[in-house]
């Protein structure tokens, strides 16, 4: 009972929906990659960031600009960094698939109010055609790209410590 009109309809669907179906399949594959690799990326980022903070702290040890700096792993998806001064900062970093969010306040002196002038930076995971994972700044006309956890850790270390 093959009617020509159903054959024509099916062919029309194949032609007109093919690109959309391929795009959908590609986006689903990328979402799976981001979900599978996002948490390990964040964990490696946290280790690199803690190492950076400890290294800066070591280099400033004994200097007048040395200050209490605390790196806390609040949970598998949340970090907290605080520094008393020169510069002072209060930063919270959270991993929320598919984003890493940095919420922070900072100032050049000491003892600032962390509830004032908070800034937020969002970084969104992307999957390249080779299934490689990277992050890009969100909501930025010319977003920076971070290919490794160490790249992002360096960026955030410089952002927090640079006066």
CATH code, domain carrying 138: 3.30.920
Residue 9 lies in a domain: no
Residue 32 lies in a domain: no
CA distances for 17 relative to 14, 22, 23, 27, angstroms: 6, 9, 10, 15
Residue 58 lies in a domain: yes
- The pLDDT tens digits along the chain (163 residues) read 568 999 999 999 988 898 899 889 888 888 899 999 999 999 999 999 999 999 999 999 999 999 999 999 999 999 999 999 999 999 999 999 899 999 999 999 888 889 888 999 999 999 988 889 999 999 989 999 999 999 999 999 999 999 8
Residue 15 lies in a domain: no
Residue 4 lies in a domain: no
Residue 96 lies in a domain: yes
Strand partners, 125: 135
The number of distinct structural domains making up the chain is 1
Query: Range of 111's domain?
Result: 37-161
* Phi, psi values for residue 88, rounded to 5°: -90, 150
Residue 17 lies in a domain: no
Residue 18 lies in a domain: no
């Amino acid at each position: 009972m093959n009617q020509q009109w159903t054959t024509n309809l099916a062919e029309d669907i194949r032609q007109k929906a093919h690109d959309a179906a391929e795009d959908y399949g590609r986006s689903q594959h990328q979402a799976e990659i981001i979900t599978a690799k996002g948490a390990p990326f964040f964990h490696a980022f946290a280790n690199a960031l803690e190492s950076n903070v400890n290294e800066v702290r070591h280099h400033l040890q004994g200097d007048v600009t040395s200050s209490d700096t605390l790196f806390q792993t609040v949970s598998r998806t949340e970090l907290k960094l605080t520094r008393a001064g020169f510069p002072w900062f209060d930063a919270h970093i959270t991993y929320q698939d598919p984003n890493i969010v940095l919420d922070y306040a900072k100032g050049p002196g000491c003892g600032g109010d962390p509830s004032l002038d908070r800034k937020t930076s969002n970084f969104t995971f992307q999957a390249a055609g080779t299934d490689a994972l990277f992050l890009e700044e969100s909501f930025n006309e010319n977003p920076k790209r971070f290919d490794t956890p160490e790249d992002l850790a360096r960026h955030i270390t410089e952002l927090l410590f640079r006066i």
